[in-house]
Structures are given as structure tokens and as C-alpha cells.
Amino acid sequence: MKTPKSTIQRIAKNALLSLFIYALPVILMFITFSIKGERPWLKKDNKVNTVSGKNNSLKEEDND
């Protein structure tokens, strides 16, 4: 059973838009830094923004 061509076209179109949405928070963040004149990535004493090791393996319970 093949995927209809119209579905593939819609998926491709929406996927392109998704790439922009993925990038949006990063773009917004750098615009904010630019306005405020901040460059936090240059700071050497970056506070480690991680929680305990167990959160590295965040469990996935959420389903569709």
C-alpha cells in the first residue's frame, strides 16, 4: 500500500515549516542576547544546568 502523493507533498511542506519552528527558540534567544548585549556562552564560570544523573534517562510515559 503506497502513501498518496498528496500526503507526501503535505508532509514535505509541513516538515519544512517544522525546521523553522525548531530553530525559532534559538533565533529568539540570540535576538534577546543581541538586544541586551549579553554573551553568556563566553562566561567561564557557567553554572551547571543539569540535574542528577537519573534525569539523563528521563523516562517516557507519554503516549499519543
Partner 1 sequence: MIKFIEEMFRNLNTWGLTALTFILGFAEFSLGLYGKKWNKNEKFLDIASYTAPKLIVGPAVAYFGLKFLPAAFPALKGTLTWIPFTFGALIIAIADDLTQYWYHRLHHEIPWLWRFHRTHHSAPYMGMAMASRQNIWYTFFFSQTYVTTILVYLGLGYPALFVKALKSLITKLAHSSIKWDKPFYEIKWLHPIAWVLERTISTPATHHAHHADVTDDGVGYYKGNFGNMFFFWDIIFGTAHISRQYPKTYGISHYEGDQWYAQLFWPVFKSKVEGSELAADGPVVREDIVKQPVVEEEEESYSPEEDLDLQPSLVAASVTSVSVNNS
Cβ pair 15, 22 in contact under 8 A:
no
Per-residue cell: 51: 540535574
Question: Residues 5, 22, 35, 37: which binds partner 1 (CB under 8 A)?
Answer: 22
> Per rule CB under 8 A, is residue 57 in the interface with partner 1?
yes
Q: How far apart are CA 25 and CA 45, in angstroms?
A: 24
Q: Report, in Å, the least distance between residue 34 CB and partner 1.
A: 13
**Computed from CA positions of residues 4, 9, 15, 17, in that sequence, does the dihedral angle turn out positive or negative?**
negative
What does the binding site for partner 1 look like in residue numbers (CB under 8 A)?
A: 1-3, 7, 10-11, 14-15, 17-18, 21-22, 24-26, 28-29, 32, 40-41, 43, 46-51, 53, 55-64
